[in-house]
Amino acid sequence: MQIGILTSGGDSPGMNAAVRTVAAAGIGRGHKVLGIRSGYAGLLEGDVLELDLAAVSGISGFGGTILGSARSSIFPTPAGQQQALARLGKLGLDALVVIGGNGSLTGAHALAQAKTCQVVGLPASIDNDIGHCGLAIGVDTAVNTIVEACDRISDTARAHRRAFIVEVMGRHCGFLAMRAGIASEADAILYSENNPSEEDLVQRLREVLQRCFSNWHKKRALIIKAEGIQVSTQLLTRRLQEYLDTDAPGVDIRETILGHVVRGGRPSAMDRVIAQRLAFGALLALEKGAHDIMLSWDVETDEGQRTQDPHVRIFPLAEVLAETGRLLDGSSVVVQGRLAMLSQVENLLIL
Backbone angles phi, psi at 320, to 5 degrees: -60, -45
Extended strands (E) in 161-246: 163-168, 188-190, 221-226
Nearest to 83 by CA among 133, 126, 125, 46: 46
Under a CB-based contact definition with an 8 Å cutoff, are residues 233 and 197 in contact?
no
The catalytic position among 47, 52, 94, 127 is 127
Reply yes or no on whether 127 is catalytic. yes
As a whole number of angstroms, the distance between CA 24 and CA 275 comes to 13
* Adjacent-strand bridge partners of 280: none
Q: How far is 250 from 215, CA to CA, in rounded Å?
A: 15
User: Do the Cβ atoms of 131 and 332 come closer than 8 Å?
Assistant: yes
- Report yes or no: 166 and 258 within 8 Å, Cβ to Cβ: yes
Cβ pair 161, 154 in contact under 8 A? no
Sign of the CA dihedral running 224, 166, 208, 232: negative
Q: How many CB atoms lie within 10 A of CB 207?
A: 12
Alpha-carbon distances of 59 from 14, 17, 18, 24, 48, rounded to whole Å: 9, 7, 10, 11, 18
Task: Compute the distance between CA of residue 69 and CA of residue 47 in angstroms, rounded to an integer.
Answer: 12
Q: Report d(CA 100, CA 11) in Å as an integer.
A: 8
- Cα torsion 19, 321, 333, 257: sign: positive
Q: Which amino acid, 58?
A: G
Chain Cα centroid distance, residue 204:
28
Instruction: Give CA–CA dist 210/163, Å, rounded.
Output: 11
Catalytic positions, written as ranges: 127
